[in-house]
Structures are given as structure tokens and as C-alpha cells.
Amino acid sequence: MPIIDLPLELLHLIGRSLDQNDTRNLISTSHRMHSVFQQKLYTNVTIGRRNANAAQSFLYTVARNPELAGYVQSLALACWETYDWDTHRDWDIPRDRQKTTERPNFDGDLIRKLVDGATEYPKEEKSKWLQDLEGYYDDAWLALLIPRLTGLRKISLEWPYGSYHVDKMLEKAAMNGGTCLPHLEKVNICWWDTENAVRSYQMHPFFKFPSVRKVSGWKVAENAKEEEEEEEELEYFDRDPTEILKGSSLLPQCSNVTDIDLSESNAGEGMQQWIQACKALKSFRIIHGGPVFSYDNAQPRKLYNSLSLHKSTLEAIWFEHNDQGETAKMTVIGWGRLSIFLP
């Protein structure tokens, strides 16, 4: 029996074992295969660095076919192209038009319509946004794409240096109560480079999304740079793009996050804002990453003081400090049935 004639139940079983490439090839064989497997093709989306056009092409696809946007449940983004802050210090400097070579044709009418629909942006910011969209900077395109994926449940971001538009989009989405992503439950962040880290305040907006329950990260630092280094950076640039979210403070008990999991990270102040923001934290894990990611030493006592706010709800805690090959010694402090391990 040809595969096209198999019962729907068997086709769905077959679909479970297919990767994205196989699924893409299968749906191109017939109208029936397209209708059966189209949703699976869009359920888990990865936008990587191998295809420089992926962000733009996918935005055009979901903007022209809005029902496809609702299929996406998981989105993974590799480090994306941002505004070149080392070369341009002023938004008014023209972009290098060579960046548009071998790109999808720019649909100006559609893009302007989408940007105009972002009513929370003032006219000046929309103008800057359009300028970077025309320059095909991924940062600008992803800021337009992500809020359209209203069925999104999980997002993974390999955060680059210099992100402006994505940060701005997250800030505005948080101010609107995260209504653009009403089903988002899991957020995973990692830093793009081998040195430094994602600044913890860059993840603050996700704590304000009512649906988010788990936040995990790799190379996250509460104090990612020393104060004097930050001052030098602010003098060098007209505007530091990572400062966008620095004022995005978290109010106590404003978040429904229940699980925090951090690797190769640093909690210079005991992740106080994150932990205090949670209404009922259930699990917390951190593996201290050392000075290559942050200048701050491990602060287990500060973590203990922060976590003590949730001693009635915490079910699991893990702190690990591996510095120069030596794992920190542990002692046990008990909170009823729960044990906390501290060096």
C-alpha cells in the first residue's frame, strides 16, 4: 500500500520518527502529506547561523500565513546578527547596502504594515526599526518575528553582544503583561562567546510573563562587569545596547517562575531580584562559573539568605562551585525536609 493511502493514525506514527528535513521532503509530495504533516514541520523551529536568510524568510512565511505562526511551540535561536556598534555609533549613519546581497526581496509594504501595527513604539523608534529591517539585521527581524509566534511554549536564545531590537521588544512585551506570548512556559538563555556572560537583568522581562514557569541559563552573571569597565563602555559608545533592560527591575512576588537552573553562571548578589520576584520557588540550581564569566566570587551565603524567603515552597536546591579544579566542600543546613548544601 502506498504511504499516501495509509490511515491517518499510521501517518502520525510515522511522523514521530521523522526529522525536520524528512518532514519537509514528505509534505512536498502531495496535498494530503502537506495537510497531515504541515503542523509538525512548524512545531519546533530552529533558526541557526548556517542560513543567513532564515529569520527574514520565516517572518515572511508566518506573516503571509498567520495560521502557521500558531503551530510553533518551540523556537531555538543561534547567535544572531546585531547592529555593528564597533563601526557605527550613530543611528543616522547609512547601513552597508552589501548586507542585502542574496537576501529575500524586501517587501516594503508588508514590513511597514507590521511595524505600524506595533502601537507601543513611538514614531522615532519605528523609523530606526525600519532602517535596520531594510539593512537586514537579524536583530530587527527577530524582534518583529517572535511576538507573532503566539503558540510558543519554549524559547532558547544564544544571546549575542549588541542586541537592541530584541531587548526592546522584550521590555515592551513585559510592560504589556506578556500578552503577546500567552503560553510561554520555558526560557533558556546562553551567552554566545567563551568569555563574559549574559547579564541577569537582560532576562528580567521573562519573569514578568505570567505563563513562564522555568528559567534556565548558561553563562549568566548577576554582575557581568566591574563598575569602572561599564563606565568606560558608556563613554565609548553613544549608547550601550545592553543598558536597555538595566532599568527593568523586578518587584517582589511579581513572577510565577517556580524553577531556576543556571550553569557556568555567577550570582554576585545571590540572585536576589530573581528569587524575591518568584511567588513560590520550587527548585534552584547554580553551578558557579568562575572569573572568566564574571569578576564576582561565589556568594553561597547571599544565595542562602535569598532562598530562605522560599523555605516553605522549595523542594530542591543545588549549589556547586568548581574553581581551578577543586570542588567546594559542603555542609548541610536543614529547612524541615529540605537540605541546603553550602561550602
- The secondary structure of 133-159 as a DSSP string is HHTT-HHHHHHHHGGG-TT--EEEEEE
Sign of the four-CA dihedral 166, 170, 176, 177 = positive
The pLDDT value recorded for residue 301 is 85
Exposure b/e, 266-293, CB count within 10 A at least 16 = b: bbbbbbbbbbbbbeebbbbbbbbbbeeb
Phi, psi of 318 (to 5 degrees): -145, 130
If residue 317 lies in a helix (H) or strand (E), which one and from where to where?
Answer: strand 316-323
Phi, psi of 130 (to 5 degrees): -60, -35
* 224 grid coordinates: 557581568
Provide the 3-class DSSP secondary structure of residue 263.
strand
The span from the CA of 311 to the CA of 307, in Å, is: 7
The span from the CA of 94 to the CA of 96, in Å, is: 7
Residue 294, classified by CB atoms within 10 Å of its CB into exposed (0-12), middle (13-18) or buried (19+), is: buried
Q: Are strands 186-191 and 154-159 parallel, antiparallel or unpaired?
A: parallel
Residue 164, classified by CB atoms within 10 Å of its CB into exposed (0-12), middle (13-18) or buried (19+), is: buried
The span from the CA of 216 to the CA of 37, in Å, is: 31
Q: Structural domain boundaries of the chain?
A: 1-46, 48-342
C-alpha dihedral, 27 to 28 to 29 to 34, nearest 10°: 40
Q: Please say whether the beta carbons of 206 and 154 come within 8 A.
A: no
The pLDDT value recorded for residue 227 is 43
Below-70 pLDDT ranges, the chain: 1-2, 4-9, 11-12, 14-17, 20, 24, 26-31, 33-36, 50, 83-102, 223-248, 290-296, 322-343
DSSP label at 325?
Answer: T
The pLDDT value recorded for residue 38 is 72
Which residues are within 8 A (CB) of 112 and not within 5 positions of it... i.e. 6 or more apart? 130
The pLDDT value recorded for residue 63 is 95
Phi, psi of 283 (to 5 degrees): -145, 145
The span from the CA of 290 to the CA of 280, in Å, is: 29
The span from the CA of 291 to the CA of 296, in Å, is: 7
pLDDT in tens, 24-82: 676 666 667 666 677 777 888 999 876 778 899 999 999 999 999 999 999 999 999 88
Provide the 3-class DSSP secondary structure of residue 276.
helix
Q: Are strands 331-335 and 326-327 parallel, antiparallel or unpaired?
A: unpaired
Among 191, 257, 188, residue whose Cα is nearest residue 216: 188
**pTM of the predicted structure, to 2 decimals:** 0.81
Q: Which residue has the cell 564576582?
A: 296
Q: Please say whether the beta carbons of 129 and 121 come within 8 A.
A: yes
